[in-house]
Amino acid sequence: EVQLVESGGGLVQPGGSLRLSCVGSGFRFSSYWMTWVRQAPGKGLEWVAYIKEDGSEKYYVDSVKGRFTISRDNAKSSLYLQMNSLRAGDTASYYCARVVSGAIFGDNLDVWGQGTTVTVSS
């Protein structure tokens, strides 16, 4: 079964740091771009960051640039999101997702984890 499982969420004070992890199973992790998407309570989906199969390319939404770092360890089938200088506005459920890439069909997110919740509050 193809699966993604996130962990690492929790309560953190403003200005603090947190590292999210996502472990993939049931597929060749190293063959896929991967992404993080977040959802603030009661709000819509926001694409956060995106990393190439080998980690050589990374992209971020402007609101997290310079504060968040996406990385991966293909030997461990793991994706990470290092979040620094956290703000109340970063409070959300964070989902990792597998990206199916194609020049004809574009990119889509075909497998999602269950999400991990990050709460930034004093």
Partner 1 sequence: DIQMTQSPSSLSASVGDRVTITCRASQSVRSYLNWYQQKPGKAPKLLIYAVSTLQSGVPSRFSGTGSGTDFTLTISSLQPEDLATYYCQQSNSVPYTFGQGTKLESK
* Gap between the Cα atoms of 118 and 101, Å rounded: 28
Taking residue 57's Cβ as centre, other Cβ atoms within 10 Å add up to: 10
Sorted by sequence, the CB contacts under 8 Å of residue 12 that are 6+ apart come out as 18, 86, 118, 119, 120
Q: Give 12 or 97: the residue with its C-beta nearer to partner 1.
A: 97
Tokens of 121: 């509050």
Comparing CB distances to partner 1, the nearer of 56 and 105 is: 105
Identity of the residue, 18 or 51, whose beta carbon is nearer to partner 1 in the bound complex:
51
Chain residues binding partner 1 by CB under 8 A are 35, 37, 44-47, 50, 59-62, 95, 100, 104-110, 112-115
Q: How far is the CB of 29 from partner 1 (least distance, A)?
A: 18
Nearest approach, Cβ of residue 91 and partner 1 (Å)? 17
Beta bridge partners of 108: 100
To the nearest whole angstrom, how small is the minimum distance from the Cβ of residue 86 to partner 1?
A: 20
